[in-house]
Amino acid sequence: MSRQRVRRQTGASLMTALIFLIVMAMLSVTLANVTTLEERMAGNTRDRDIALQAAEAALRDAEQRLSKPAFRATGFPAFIATNENSAAFWEDCFRPPALPPCNTTYEPVQKLPTLGPGAVSAQPRFVIERKPNVGTTEIYRVTARAVGGDEDTIVVLQTELGVTP
Q: With cut-offs at 50, 70 and 90, classify the pLDDT of residue 95.
A: confident
DSSP string of 50-92, one letter each residue = HHHHHHHHHHHHHHHHHTSHHHHTT--PBP-TTS--SHHHHHH
Model confidence pLDDT, tens digit, residues 100-132:
888 889 999 999 999 988 899 999 999 999 999
The band of 19, judged by pLDDT with boundaries at 50, 70 and 90, is very high
Average pLDDT over residues 89-101: 84
Contact call for residues 121 and 145 (beta carbons, < 8 A): no
Each domain of the chain, given as residue ranges in start order, spans 2-163
Burial pattern 59-73, b for ≥16 Cβ within 10 A else e, equals bebbeebbeeeeebe
Closest CA to 76 of 108, 101, 107, 109: 101
pLDDT for 3: 55
For residue 124, whether the previous peptide bond is cis, meaning omega lies within 30 degrees of 0, is: no
Q: Could you tell me which of 71, 141, 75, 145 has the C-alpha nearest to residue 107?
A: 145
pLDDT for 9 beyond 70: no
How many angstroms separate the first and last alpha carbons of the chain? 108
pLDDT digits (tens, 9 = 90+) for 43-92: 899 999 999 999 999 999 999 999 999 999 988 999 888 776 777 788 88
Cβ proximity of 141 and 151 under 8 Å = no
pLDDT score recorded for residue 54: 96
**Best CA proximity match to 158, nearest among 90, 92, 105:** 90
Lowest mean pLDDT among 1-5, 7-11, 37-41, 86-90: 1-5
Which has more pLDDT, 125 or 9? Answer: 125
Q: Is the pTM of this model over 0.75?
A: yes
Which residues are paired to 130 by β-bridges?
78, 140
